[in-house]
Amino acid sequence: MLPTPARSGLSLLVGVKRCVDYAVKIRIRPDGKGVDTNVKNSMNPFDEIAVEEAVRLREKHKGDVSRIAAVSIGPAKAADVLRTALAMGADDAIHVEIPADTVIEPLGVSKILAAITKAEMEKGPDDEAWAWTMGKQAIDDDASQTGQMLAAHLDWPQATFASKLEFKGGFKKGEKVEVTREIDGGLATMETTLPFVLTTDLRLNEPRYASLPNIMKAKKKPLKKVTLKDLGLENEISPRLETLEVKEPPKRQGGIKVENVDELIAKLKESGRI
Amino acid sequence: MLALLRTPLLAAPRAATRRFSASARASDVLLFVEHKAGAVNAASLSALTAARKLGAGDVHALVGGKEADIQGVADAVAKFDGVSKVLHASGEALGSSLAEAFAPLLKQVASSGSYTHVVAGHTAFGRDVVPRAAALLDASQISDITAVHDADTFERPIYAGNAIAKVKSADKLKVLTVRGTAFDKAATEGGSASAEKVDFAEPSISTRLVSEQISKSSRPELATAARVVSGGRALKSAEGFEKYIEPLADALNAAVGASRAAVDAGYAANNLQVGQTGVVVAPELYLAVGISGAIQHLAGMKEAKTIVSINKDPECPMAEIADFALVANLEDAVPELLEKLKSA
């Protein structure tokens, strides 16, 4: 284990989820209760952006970012995405390991992340600045809830769907942060204060690839395993939702190729669309 | 035993006492209304339609905003067909649409009556506020529902719309966000709801809105437009977008959309992105110009009634799902189409 120096500056926690890779064409399981996840998995693309943003903050502000810790909840294989985060530049990782068939909804995830936050905060000074970054949604359940729920549990401000982040003040509790958010119809710029929860939109940054030497180095970085029991949450996060069925979306009727613009206009007129 | 008795005992006098009773009955639905510059967001009208499918109870609408706006919006919502009561609250942070102010308001009102459901549009605002409120209410939210089976059972798309999950909730209070394009918009006339001011002590919050940069457009709003003309990477430049996509959109009275590739390359503004992570549309006509049709893009438009693809690649996924696929170079086909639409 690395020695833990007395920290000053910002501690960043980054939420990462292991999902079916975005390029995989998913298949419904034969039992109709879910999707076959025994395919290529990788880090949720929005979470990659969250890790990248944390690492860039440190590159820009050097010693003012004292720690970047990646956090994931999932079965043993979730450690893969934590190693990816470490290879991208996170310092250490926390893996909340759960059995492979356990379902945890965003509400449960947010409770676990809140418990981890509190446990980690206890180890540092009271005036330490904290922030969470995580993706705005996971591309498997498409829920877009966890960051907001976590902010609620911690009673921290939230900056969702961020496309730009700027630390205007210092790196202490209460210092100001400016965030530009993607909203319907345009952008909103807001000012908030540390500690806070940020969820990342696509245009915040372009995540880096982990280099081979960094992948090797990441194997030596600390990865701590935690159980729900350690957090005192084993009875607190049972699912409220039951998935009765997962089915294919209705298939579109196979269309027709039109030969030229005249035929296209004729078809559109025929179908009443123009 | 008491619980068993309660329902039949109260069932009879319900109609008579309703008017005088301020408290909600055990099957009422709270609709969280979104508005801007005095106008209610169309997604809230779709959410109202979903709300009316949930149970036998009343629909109460909650409106929060700045003092100067709130009366006008509350009056408009009171006329919505199917709303029986409008609850309105005003405050400074509520004028800036900040989640830290709206979530406690939603929590306060949702837990004050005996509501069974909270319903809101799955818009950027709804996605920001509602999960925060759901956590405060200890409810496991169901996002972006596309169908209501009964009061507990809903459908929602997962994996970028490549699968539909049917989900049953065991929560006492169900918190739902609604996909606007999946439900018809409720009528904005015909109702006559009562109005009630909510005493809401705004929490002291450390967040403030600095500025908003809203894209001005005379075209229809993307999310609700009857026709959408979208451009992709094949437009090659912002000038290409201006030259080919915009005149075609104007000729069809359509909204302009874009693929992620076009947005990332800077050809079009972020808020025009159609797809899993952008806007979800379901227009009568979706005209995809130079868009190959990645999974993430199709997630945002495959519910369109009629899809047209103009692409030089006959094998691209968009051409495969399009009702009418024209295999052509857009630089030739779009000007010709524009010319012939104008002379038609």
Residue A250 lies in a domain: yes
Q: What is the dihedral of CA B107, B110, B112, B115, to 10 degrees?
A: -160
* CB nearest to B171's CB, from A106, A192, A240: A240
Distance, CA of A96 to CA of B276 (rounded, Å) = 28
- What pLDDT is stored for residue A251 in this prediction? 85
- Sorted by sequence, the CB contacts under 8 Å of residue A191 that are 6+ apart come out as A168, A176, A177, A178, A179, B207, B208, B210
pLDDT tens profile A193-220: 999 999 999 999 999 999 999 999 999 9
Q: Do B241 and B128 share a domain, yes or no? A: no
Among candidates B329, B342, B230, B339, which has minimal Cα distance to B285?
Answer: B230
CATH of the domain at B328: 3.40.50.1220
Distance, CA of A211 to CA of B21 (rounded, Å) = 66
Q: For chain B, what is the domain count?
A: 2
Residue B213 lies in a domain: no
Distance, CA of A184 to CA of B277 (rounded, Å) = 12
Å between B67 CA and nearest CA of chain A? 21
pLDDT band at B20 (very low <50, low <70, confident <90, very high): very low
Interface of A with B in 231-250 (CB under 8 A): 239-249
- What stretch of H or E contains B253? none
Average pLDDT over residues A81-109: 96
3-state secondary structure of A31: coil
User: Which residues does chain B have within 8 Å of residue A35's beta carbon, measured at their own beta carbons?
Assistant: 158-159, 163
Residue B45 lies in a domain: yes
* CB nearest to A105's CB, from B140, B206, B337: B140
Per-residue pLDDT for A78 more than 80?
Answer: yes
Residue A208 lies in a domain: yes
3-state secondary structure of B165: strand
Q: Which domain holds residue B332?
A: 227-343
Per-residue pLDDT for A146 more than 90?
Answer: yes
Average pLDDT over residues B30-40: 96
Q: Is A169 on the interface with B (CB under 8 A)?
A: no
Question: Which residue of A37, A46, A47, A107 to mutate against B (max B Cβ within 10 Å)?
Answer: A107
Per-residue pLDDT for B30 more than 60?
Answer: yes
Chain A residue with CA closest to B168: the answer is A242
% of chain B with per-residue pLDDT over 90? 88
Å between B28 CA and nearest CA of chain A? 21
Report whether B162 contacts B105 (CB < 8 A): no
Residue A99 lies in a domain: yes
pLDDT band at B25 (very low <50, low <70, confident <90, very high): low
Q: For chain A, what is the domain count?
A: 1
Per-residue pLDDT for B2 more than 50?
Answer: no
% of chain A with per-residue pLDDT over 70? 97
Interface of A with B in 14-33 (CB under 8 A): 20, 22, 25-26, 28
Distance, CA of B47 to CA of B185 (rounded, Å) = 8
Q: Do B51 and B151 share a domain, yes or no? A: yes
Interface of A with B in 66-125 (CB under 8 A): 105-108, 110
pLDDT tens profile A18-66: 999 999 999 999 999 999 999 999 999 999 999 999 999 999 998 899 9
Q: Do B60 and B189 share a domain, yes or no? A: yes
- Sorted by sequence, the CB contacts under 8 Å of residue B207 that are 6+ apart come out as A157, A159, A190, A191, A192, A193, B93, B98, B100
**Beta-carbon separation of B123 and A184 below 8 A:** yes
pLDDT tens profile B45-83: 999 999 999 987 899 999 999 999 999 999 999 999 999
Distance, CA of B340 to CA of A199 (rounded, Å) = 46
pLDDT tens profile B279-318: 999 999 999 999 999 999 999 999 999 999 999 999 999 9
pLDDT band at B5 (very low <50, low <70, confident <90, very high): very low
Q: Do B176 and B100 share a domain, yes or no? A: yes
Per-residue pLDDT for B17 more than 90?
Answer: no
Binding annotation of B for FAD:
233, 259-260, 273-277, 290-297, 311
Q: Do B235 and B189 share a domain, yes or no? A: no
Q: Which domain holds residue A200?
A: 10-270
* CB nearest to B340's CB, from A158, A244, A261: A261
CATH of the domain at A80: 3.40.50.620
Q: Do B104 and B148 share a domain, yes or no? A: yes
Residue B254 lies in a domain: yes
Residue A245 lies in a domain: yes
pLDDT band at A7 (very low <50, low <70, confident <90, very high): low
- What pLDDT is stored for residue B223 in this prediction? 92
Residue B313 lies in a domain: yes
- What pLDDT is stored for residue B19 in this prediction? 40
Residue A2 lies in a domain: no
Q: Do B59 and B178 share a domain, yes or no? A: yes
Å between A223 CA and nearest CA of chain B? 29
Q: Do B280 and B179 share a domain, yes or no? A: no
Q: Do B41 and B171 share a domain, yes or no? A: yes
CATH of the domain at B172: 3.40.50.620
pLDDT tens profile B111-168: 998 899 999 999 999 999 999 999 999 999 999 999 999 999 999 999 999 999 999 9
> Which of these three, B178, B197, B216, is where a domain ends?
B197
**pTM reported for the whole predicted model:** 0.92
Average pLDDT, chain B: 92
**Beta-carbon separation of A158 and B128 below 8 A:** yes
